[in-house]
Amino acid sequence: MSEWFTSRIRTIPNFPKAGIMFRDITTLLADARGFRKSVDELVQRYVGVEINKVAGIESRGFILGGAVAHQLATGFIPIRKPGKLPHTTIGEDYKLEYGTDRLELHEDAIASGDLVLLVDDLIATGGTAEAAVKLIRAAGGTVAAACFVIDLPDLGGSRRLRDMGVEVITLCEFAGA
């Protein structure tokens, strides 16, 4: 199954900087069957589970997360960069290789005890996803799982989330960075 997805994902060498192999899911999303199969595979194990919300990480997580929320007949929560949400927010800072960044969500987006499915396109080092998990937990939610189309296992992000007690679901993986 993994090979089916990897064959539909474009790799762009040296983007956004030298030495990086950018995994571009726009080719997968542009393929009607590829988009549908991606969403179906992410949703499959949660059909019949009472997921209260799906949270998507800016920005490709919005595309996938919105479709997953629709399929599960539940609400969608955008997790965004600072200053993008119009109401009162809570935030979580996280480290980057060259500094720090921050994710935010509306303070009233998650009710205490909500079961939340986290969705994004790719897990690499896991810093952004870890911050999103912490943010969901700080808001009172429980993370059912973190779902990604692509895993870059050599960078350790999936392991990082599993070490936090989060189930990680991925559709395919690529070796290296």
- Residue 80 annotated among the catalytic residues of the structure: no
Supply 121's token pair.
């396109």
Annotation says 97 is catalytic: yes
What one-letter code names the amino acid at 13?
Answer: P
Cβ(123)–Cβ(168) below 8 Å: yes
Q: Write out the two tokens for 83.
A: 């200053």
- Catalytic choice (8, 23, 41, 60): 60
Burial class (CB in 10 A: 0-12, 13-18, 19+), 174: middle
Which of 5, 14, 3 shows the shortest CA–CA distance to 148? Answer: 5
Burial class (CB in 10 A: 0-12, 13-18, 19+), 161: buried
Which helix (H) or strand (E) is 168 found in, with range? strand 168-173
Token pair in block for residue 77: 């929560």
Strand partners, 123: 151
Q: What is the rounded CA–CA span in Å between residue 92 and residue 94?
A: 7
Q: Which residues are catalytic?
A: 60, 97
